[in-house]
Amino acid sequence: MADPQISVPRVRFAPSPSGYLHIGGARTALFNWLWARKHGGSFVVRIEDTDQERSSLESVRAILESMKWLGMDWDEGPEVGGAHEPYFQSERKALYKAAADKLIAEGKAYRCYCTKEELDAQREALKAKDPKAQFRYPGTCRNRQDQPDLPYVVRFKTPSEGATVFDDLVFGKISTPNSQQQDFVLVRPNGLPLYNLAAVVDDHAMGINLVARGRDHIGNTPQQVMLYEALGYEVPRFAHLPMMLSAKGEKLSKRHASVSVSEYQDKGYTAAGVLNYLARFGWSSGDQEIFTVQELIDKFDWAQVGKSDGKFDQKKFADVAFEHLKQSELTSDAEYLDLVRPFLADAGISDPDPKILREALPLIRERAHDLKDAAHHLDFYFRQPPIFEEKATKKFLKPESAEYLRGFAAAISALDSWTAEALETAFKSYVEAQDVKMKVVAQPVRVALSGRSASPGLFEVMIVLGKDLSLQRLEEGALRAEEAQTTA
């Protein structure tokens, strides 16, 4: 067996294209990708589309788009090609047929003409006798010599004695008595291979030396090991990954949470934030929670992948993603601005003043949990006039506020230096002179500047807006406040 610690990894991600990229699938892809990148190996993407009814090109595109967004580039596969083309199983049928024919010719597999109706009847009869019994194909066609012109499946001649053993990098040695296996089907009546045959033929042909996938496939692995041996192929190493479950312990689906990678992209998480959460799902490195992608590559190791299934934690996911937006070591200012632009554009702000954008960023980092949220927090800087929240406007832009807005505007218009300290001093002395509570002036000022009852510090906002725009908004706020009088 190839030792994954010694040989250069050739690993793969083999999605069935019947939907979007599920975050559980992305986690499987990630562990493979990290391992390949850590050791300068190859990461192969193969599309397992032999189930024609469920597969679609649209889904292939969606999965690949999400892979690209996450930054998990592949060395071989769709779009990039490679030495083992094609990378779509639907285009590799001849290889599976050749393998099935070889097994039949060597007496290791056989054609089975039993019909579905016959097998159903046998299953029912067994159930009537013993409701708990597990039906296994009884080998009716095992030694059949004739080849009638009837539809057939190809079955593997499973040895009845002994055990099939493999050593899993996560679960350790797994031994399954062969008596527990039936003569499983390799090829359907329409000539298309089933998953086990196609996966083995391809993993061998593509030189995969470590097969890492979800634990839901661990029950297929003994059958695959038998096939490797029967076909005379070297058996790769295996690593099965613990499952991602819902809070209730069910298989995670969209009933429980957002499960497609693209939903997290649309919401405005960074790819690195998503990868960070996914990497920590089943893998750990001491107490560290937050990792850059490079750190994940450097630190990932199978030795720290746990066996226990985990529960997907939406809140933790959001917290990890937020941390990536908060820390400029994880998302640089330039990256942040690039990332937030499309979200601003979605809100109708397609050409934000770059200076204001740059200066507002430090005020946003601490507050915005995702980029959609960031665009919301940034909105009022660019929208002239800002959108006025109804409740805040009614509450704080009252007729009597107009005087304070104009008075404060007058006090600061005389300032030589437009700094937070100077603004604060001016604000305090204005409030003292009026002999009112701070908030009596502060809240109308906040609403006039931002349209909102909550915003970053007033003086910081005024620095970002600049003197002219701040004064303009204070005056417009005063007009609005007066307006409230005339329509009241």
Q: Which residues bind ligand GLU (CB under 6 A)?
A: 14-16, 48, 199, 213, 217
Tell me the closest approach of the beta carbon of residue 301 to ligand GLU, in angstroms: 20
Of the candidates 254, 355, 437, 439, the residue annotated as catalytic is 254
Render the burial of 249-271: b for 16+ CB within 10 Å, e for the rest: eeebeeebbebbbeebbebbbbb
- Catalytic, 254? Answer yes
Tell me the closest approach of the beta carbon of residue 29 to ligand GLU, in angstroms: 10
The angle at the Cα of 96, spanning 212 to 79, to the nearest 5 degrees, equals 60
Residue closer to ligand GLU by CB (options 7, 16) is 16
**Contact at 8 Å (CB) between 226 and 254?**
no
Nearest to 422 by CA among 385, 384, 455, 470: 470
Residue closer to ligand GLU by CB (options 202, 370) is 202
User: Cα dihedral sign for 142, 145, 148, 153?
Assistant: positive
Q: What are the residue ranges of helices labelled H in 71-139?
A: 93-105, 116-129
Tell me the closest approach of the beta carbon of residue 213 to ligand GLU, in angstroms: 3
HEC profile of 317-333: HHHHHHHHHHCCCCCCH
How far CA 193 is from CA of 87, 144, 154, 215, 328, in Å, comes to 15, 21, 9, 22, 50
Length of the chain: 488
Does the N-terminal peptide bond of residue 4 adopt cis geometry, omega within 30 degrees of 0?
A: no
Token pair of 95, please?
């290889």
Tell me the closest approach of the beta carbon of residue 473 to ligand GLU, in angstroms: 55
Residue closer to ligand GLU by CB (options 16, 472) is 16
Neighbours of 432 (CB within 10 A): 10
Tell me the closest approach of the beta carbon of residue 15 to ligand GLU, in angstroms: 5
Phi-psi region of 172 (alpha: psi -120 to 50; beta: other; left: phi over 0): left
Residue closer to ligand GLU by CB (options 27, 365) is 27
How far CA 175 is from CA of 180, 200, 219, 223, 404, in Å, comes to 11, 19, 11, 12, 81
Phi and psi dihedrals of 410, rounded to 5? -65, -40
Residue closer to ligand GLU by CB (options 46, 377) is 46
In whole angstroms, give the CA distance from residue 426 to residue 430: 6
Match 């600061």 to its residue by tokens: 412
Match 């030795």 to its residue by tokens: 303
HEC profile of 158-175: CCCCCEEEEEECCCEEEE
Residue closer to ligand GLU by CB (options 16, 285) is 16
DSSP 302: G
Residue closer to ligand GLU by CB (options 195, 322) is 195
Tell me the closest approach of the beta carbon of residue 271 to ligand GLU, in angstroms: 21
Match 């307006």 to its residue by tokens: 483
Tell me the closest approach of the beta carbon of residue 17 to ligand GLU, in angstroms: 9
Tell me the closest approach of the beta carbon of residue 46 to ligand GLU, in angstroms: 8
Tell me the closest approach of the beta carbon of residue 133 to ligand GLU, in angstroms: 29
DSSP H/E element including 308 = none
Residue closer to ligand GLU by CB (options 61, 437) is 61
**Contact at 8 Å (CB) between 71 and 293?**
yes
Residue closer to ligand GLU by CB (options 86, 457) is 86
- Indicate which residues carry an active-site annotation: 254
